[in-house]
Amino acid sequence: MTNEAIKEFVFNVVPSATFDESGEFFTIQIDATEWKSLATLLRGVPYNFNYLFCVTCIDWKTHFTTVYHLTSTNHRRAIVVKAKVDRNDPLIETVSDIWKTAEFHEREVFDLFGVRFKNHPDLRRLILTDDFEGYPLRKDFEDAVNMIKL
Amino acid sequence: MYTETQIINNSNDELVINVGPQHPATHGVLHLVITLQGETIKKVEPHLGYIHRSIEKMCESLTYRQFICASSRMDYLSAHINNHACALTVEKGAQIEVPQRAQYIRVIMDELTRIASHELWWGAMAMDLGAFTPFFYAFREREVITEIMEETCGARLTMNYMVPGGVMTDIHPDFQKRVKEFIQLFKSKIDEYDDLVTNNIIFQNRTKGVGHLSKEDAISYGCTGAVARASGVSCDIRKLYPYDIYDKVTFNEILETAGDSFARYMIRMGEMRESIKIIEQLIDNIPEGDYQAKTKAVLKLPKGDFYTRVETARGELGVYIVSEGAATPYRIKFRSPGFSNLSALDQMARGGKIGDLMATMGTLDLVIPDIDR
Amino acid sequence: MFIKEYISEIAKATKSLWTGMRLTGHYFVRPKTVITQQYPDNRDTLKMADRFRGEVIMPHDADNLHACTGCTACELACPNATIKVITKFELTPENKKKKALDTFVYHLDMCTLCGLCVDACPTGAIQMGQNFEHSVYDRSTLTKKLNKPGSKIREGVE
Amino acid sequence: MYSLHAITHSIQDWLSARLSPVWVLMIESIIVIVLAIGLFAVLGLILVWLERKVAAHMQIRLGPNRVGPAGIFQTSADTLKLILKEGLTPDGADKFLFNFAPFVVMIVAMLALAPIAFANGFQIWDINIGVLYVSAISSLSVIGILIAGWASNNKYSLLGAMRSGAQIVSYELSAGLSILTIVVLTGSLQISDIVHAQQNGWWLFKGHIPVVIAFIIFIIAATAETNRAPFDLAEAESELTAGFHTEYSGMKFALFFLAEYINIFIVCAIGATLFLGGWMPFHIGDWAQFNHVMDYIPSSIWFFGKTFFLIFLIMWFRWTFPRLRVDQLLTLEWKYLLPISLFNLLLVTVIAIMNWHF
């Protein structure tokens, strides 16, 4: 499987996807709304990306990107999917039904960034207390009590 | 969270117990809410965050040299390997060539750390199952490693020995001699471990067939390290994506197929022996040369994102740095092995007894600061 | 057959238990294997490794001279603002203004003993000391001034 | 053989010559109570210290070594600390039962001490159903544990108490059956008879392999009945924090702790009496010279030596083995120990009837 093949495969599903081959992993950039359908296809044949090893989010101040690192235990090839999420209404569909590990990782992202995952079975704060206000890993988060400005 | 009325109104004889945050078996501040029916576990729900320090946020304000020492505080039992992962990521981004000598030292240190970590796990796991004595035997050998570390790195637990471009100081003149002595000592002692715990009939009955995790689940839950390898998933990063000089040494990736606690136990015992093998191959062949590459005073990573995977004692640690070209990272994500392994605990413990939960948790080798970060 | 299996099972189990008991018994009757170090008693013989990182110290020689130029490299290298270098301007014999160290403030209570400051120091003015007994009754005593009163920079250190 | 009969009888005679029988009984009871409590305190302290030392040396440590020579007064210091501590009662607990439970456990342990022969002629109460009495009394201690677990209003305590209930009820059986083998061989339930029956050799050596098997089963069952590792499920530290005594503190906790060690002493004393001849010195058949030499060692030393040997054995188990799981514990009893001890009892009965033993 080459990058070209994946490109074509993704292009058929998500025409608006852009690709980035400069980094270590082959990166697919899509919009949040298209993520779920792409994820289902990537998990299925022929690529069988069955192992989601990292889920995270980056706050770009104008928008979020949720970053999914995928690999497959069959052909050992990692790809990255970056989904652009609206910052004012951060909403993306969950993939916890496809990869169970996403359940915890998405809860963490929800906890620290406030990205809501649609259809997540148990979307609650994972690390912070239930009554915590704000999302600490956002760039505009200010915690007057605990953060020490140097 | 459960309110009191919820517990009382529970009609189907279920008992909700809080295991932790202070509990002898959770080794730290993990909080599990377990639902019991009699002694049988119906559900395990982890509550995290008691030791969350937001290292990721902290690192956003630290330079690329400084953030390495913060990573020691995640999985403090394999602090060296965490440091190694961070250093590798920075080197990848800044395109620093690491001298051969430094690579050898790093790998030897990694493997020593792995043995030390597994020793502690072995003792603590036996303690979870009610045997107290192994803990002290494990610490006796672990002490030798920490003393070697102390001599060379200057610290015993959070060494901060790796710097971008190599290691901070050269190895101590006695280093090779002491490591060889340790290898000799350890080889005789590991058989004692088998006598005391592995072959013990009570221990085997407690762990065999307990906390079963199928191969599919292990992959789906993103389990790594001994947990995944016990289910037959080949996932040793040292083998699959070798870093530093792991491609030059020969060692076996220990694999089991049973997927139960005993398989996880055997994997870790085997890994200790493999680590000894790796050290034996390297210890006499450390090449002469620089221990540190010349680097710029202010390290800056080019714009882009960098991801490194290394194999810690607990599994795969991923360090993901997003750089905007500044001297500090824009965003750092640590993909910690314990976090994913813990998420499979519910699946593994369900249907077992309380004692099984402890056995399963023991073989998961959870380090809570690693989960919470 | 069932009886045979039953009995061999018991025999195997008993043997495995006995192996374990023999090991603990082995150590029980050999007091020399005890590894306990009786800490406050062995203080005189206790020697820490040369590189052991116990605290940051600034060595002064017999003439009360140190090697710190006040360049603040350590302050910049420190991950958690443990070090604060306060500098002043001194007049050199040629009547030029020269930056020099006034006070080297070291917050031991914040220090993670990572050793980055020592690594960063260009003149080797600070080192890691071997003392590890830092417990005090008053936390404020952990904020230390490392340069001794009246100390000066050694000649020739730039 | 040196006997303590002379001392006890002279006290009896001296008192009855001066006082009415009722007063004699009263005064003798007081003496016995004082002695028993004294023995309790001393035994508790020594056993705890011993356990810590045994554990330490097995774990290549030194153990207590600061208070007194070799740390012998460490346990006294700990007890003093526990006495001075506040005894908390949880808010939702059943106050009366919560405070009552430690005493139940303690009193049961004290009662079981009555028929034990500490030395030749030194026995509180030589009841004719001595063995039956001890096994009946010692099974009562589970009631104290159940009360403690239930009254604490703590889920850990409740689970621990329930485990303890299941455990002690099961292991009573095989303990009883292995005691029965000796009763069958001796033909008496009286402790003094059992001891005297071992005049020409201890049952462990006289009774062939079946008695050895009974002895092993008895030791296992005794370990389980006293809630000691590897059968310490009732307090299973890593599972239930402290099991039934999670909520206890201060002196009430100390009573549980003490009772545990007294119970160990009692079961080991019973084991020593039944299988190792109690205070009876080591005799070989009719070899008079050898037996005579052995008689020079006081009988109390024989008794305590044997008992402490068994106690050491139980401690050795504790510091070597992992804990069993609750279902495995019951499997061990019902699938292994019980059938074996039933079959064993049958064998012993045959031996006794045919008079095959030495």
Give the structural domain span for B281: 51-348+355-366
Question: Which DSSP helix (H) or strand (E) runs through B266?
Answer: helix B261-283
The answer as to whether B251 is a domain residue is yes
Residues D28-48: what's their mean pLDDT? 84
Examine residue A94 and state whether it is found in any structural domain, yes or no.
yes
Which chain C residues have any C-beta within 8 angstroms of a chain B C-beta? 12-13, 16-17, 19-20, 22-24, 35, 48-53, 77-79, 112-116, 119, 128
Counting the structural domains of chain D, the total is 1
Average pLDDT of span D295-317: 85
Whether residue B239 lies within 8 A of chain A, CB to CB, comes out as no
Q: For residues D174 and D191, what is the distance between their CA atoms, to the nearest angstrom? A: 20
B261 Cβ partners below 8 Å, 6+ apart?
A: B206, B207, B208, B210, B211, B356, B359, B360, B362, B363
Q: Is residue B179 assigned to a domain?
A: yes
pLDDT digits (tens, 9 = 90+) for D211-230: 888 888 888 888 888 888 78
C-alpha of D147 from chain center: 21
Computed on alpha carbons and rounded to an integer, the radius of gyration of chain A in Å comes to 16
Determine how β-strand C65-66 pairs with β-strand C152-153.
Answer: parallel
B102, burial (CB in 10 Å: exposed 0-12, middle 13-18, buried 19+): buried
Q: Please indicate, yes or no, if residue B2 is contained in any of the structural domains.
A: no
* Residue D121 to residue A52: CA distance in whole angstroms: 78
Q: How far is A126 from chain B (nearest CA, A)?
A: 6
Instruction: State the DSSP string of C20-46.
Output: HHHHHHHHHT-GGG-----GGGGTTT-
Residue A150: inside a domain: no
Confidence of residue B77 (pLDDT cuts 50, 70, 90): confident
| A36 in a structural domain | yes
Specify the pTM: 0.87
Domain containing D146 equals 5-354
- Predicted ipTM beyond 0.90: no
CATH of the domain at B208: 1.10.645.10
Token readout for A143 is 């915690």
B99 within some domain: yes
In terms of Cβ atoms closer than 10 Å to its own Cβ (0-12, 13-18, 19+), residue B176 is middle
Range of A36's domain? Answer: 3-118
Chains D and A touch (3+ CB pairs under 8 A): no
User: How high is the mean pLDDT in each 10-residue block of chain C (158 residues)?
Assistant: 83 87 87 84 84 86 82 85 84 76 85 86 85 87 83 74
pLDDT at position B153: 86
Q: Which two tokens stand for residue B31?
A: 């909080």
B318 near A CB under 8 A: yes
Please give the pLDDT value at position C12: 87
Tokens of D173: 């059986």
Over the stretch B97-113, which tens digit does the pLDDT of each residue have?
888 888 888 888 888 89
Residue D174 banded pLDDT, cuts 50, 70, 90:
confident
Kindly state whether residue A75 falls inside one of the protein's structural domains: yes
| Alpha-carbon dihedral sign for residues D220, D223, D229, D232 | positive
Residue A74 lies in a domain: yes
Decide if pLDDT at A91 tops 70: yes
CA atoms within 13 A on the CB side of C36: 15
Q: Pick the range with the lowest mean pLDDT from B180-194, B252-266, B351-365, D273-287.
A: D273-287
Contact C36 D320 (CB under 8 A): no
Query: In terms of Cα–Cα distance, which of C103, C121, C104, C126 is closest to C55?
Result: C126
Give the model's pLDDT for residue A86: 85
- Confirm whether A143 is domain-assigned: no
- Provide the domain count of chain A: 1
Which of D57, D217, D312, D313 to substitute to test the interface with C, most C CBs within 10 Å?
Answer: D57
For chain D, the average pLDDT equals: 83
Distance (Å) from the alpha carbon of D54 to chain B's nearest alpha carbon: 11
In a domain, A69, yes or no: yes
Q: Output the pLDDT for position B1.
A: 47
Q: Would you place residue B10 in the very low, low, confident or very high pLDDT band (cuts 50, 70, 90)?
A: low
Between B82 and A43, residue with greater pLDDT: B82
Given a contact cutoff of 8 angstroms between Cβ atoms, the answer to whether A24 and B306 are in contact is yes
Q: Who's near B22: CB < 8 A, 6+ residues apart?
A: B29
CATH, residue A73: 3.30.460.80
* Exposed/middle/buried for residue B42 (C-beta within 10 Å: 0-12, 13-18, 19+): middle
| Count of domains observed in chain B | 1
Note the Cα D103 to chain centre separation in Å. Answer: 17
Is residue A133 situated within a structural domain?
Answer: no
Radius of gyration, CA atoms only, chain C: 28
Q: Are B101 and B290 in contact (CB under 8 A)?
A: yes
Q: What is the pLDDT of residue B12?
A: 67
User: Comparing D16 with B338, which gets the higher pLDDT?
Assistant: B338
